[in-house]
């Protein structure tokens, strides 16, 4: 009962303070603990409906920041002027559509996304969604940037956490107080992003430094024939009218 009252408190508080959902307090607690968002940051919110995380991000970046959210359905609300929303699938949209007008990568990427819950395989679908986010990060998040994503705990969670640790220097798991007690959701928070290093192609490097190949010798179509004589060479007499070679007749 105490836990239910706590959630009712967040719901009432969100209405009182003008947030679109009580999930705003999840991001507030996460950012208070981890300091992911700074003034002037560029922030991308994946799965931004109903919009409460956009509100919090806009408050914390300030008027000099830039916040863009994407969701499968339109999202509207009392957003600040530095907030833009996009309708679409983040796995299919051109990543450039989520960047600022200069095309700069974001300082922070957030995700409160969850799959449509069915009670069967929700955990695995949640992990797969998070893996898709990690796949797209090199196109969205700048080096040294910060990150937070929701995931349902389960047997596939440890490998996901390990993969996140390979991409960031500082990774911690948080379960905000505004999360329902029965929910298995947690938030993986990460700082100091390490983009993947694109290894150069050794063969390409070798060919780039190699001398150019010798010019090809003109061919008459048979590999065993010598090249044609240089210009000015004595032209042999034309063959006889019957088409026979005078050097090979009479044998």
Note the pLDDT of residue 93: 95
Catalytically active residues, by annotation: 150
Q: Of the given ranges (37-46, 156-165, 225-234), which has the lowest mean pLDDT?
A: 225-234
Question: Contact at 8 Å (CB) between 190 and 147?
Answer: yes
The predicted-structure confidence for 14-36, as pLDDT tens digits, reads as follows 999 999 999 999 999 999 999 99
Q: In whole angstroms, give the CA distance from residue 37 to residue 57.
A: 7
What domains can you pick out in the chain, each with its CATH number? 2-193 (3.40.50.150)
Q: Which residue has the higher pLDDT, 111 or 205?
A: 111
Say what percent of the chain tops pLDDT 70.
75
Region 103-127: mean pLDDT is: 89
Q: Is the dihedral of CA 144, 148, 154, 156 positive or negative?
A: negative
Question: Contact at 8 Å (CB) between 95 and 78?
Answer: no
Region 39-50: mean pLDDT is: 98
């Amino acid at each position: 009962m105490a836990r239910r009252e706590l959630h009712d408190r967040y719901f009432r508080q969100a209405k009182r303070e003008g947030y679109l959902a009580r999930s705003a307090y999840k991001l507030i607690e996460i950012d208070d603990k981890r300091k992911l968002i700074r003034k002037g940051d560029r922030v991308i919110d994946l799965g931004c409906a109903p919009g409460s995380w956009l509100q919090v991000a806009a408050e914390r970046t300030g008027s000099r920041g830039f916040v863009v959210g994407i969701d499968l359905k339109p999202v509207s609300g009392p957003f600040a002027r530095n907030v833009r929303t996009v309708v679409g699938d983040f796995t299919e949209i051109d990543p450039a559509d989520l960047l600022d007008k200069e095309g700069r990568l974001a300082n922070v990427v957030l995700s409160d996304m969850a799959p449509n819950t069915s009670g069967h395989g929700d955990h695995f679908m949640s992990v797969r969604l998070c893996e898709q986010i990690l796949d797209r990060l090199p196109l969205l998040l700048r080096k040294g940037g910060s990150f937070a994503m929701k995931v349902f705990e389960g047997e596939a969670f440890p490998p996901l956490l390990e993969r996140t640790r390979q991409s960031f220097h500082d990774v911690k798991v948080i379960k905000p107080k505004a999360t329902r007690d029965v929910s298995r959701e947690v938030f993986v928070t990460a700082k100091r992003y390490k983009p993947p290093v694109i290894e150069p192609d050794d063969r390409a490097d070798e060919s780039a430094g190699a001398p150019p190949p010798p010019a090809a010798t003109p061919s008459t179509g048979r590999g065993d024939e010598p090249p044609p004589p240089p210009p000015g060479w004595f032209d042999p007499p034309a063959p006889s009218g019957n088409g026979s070679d005078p050097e090979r007749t009479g044998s």
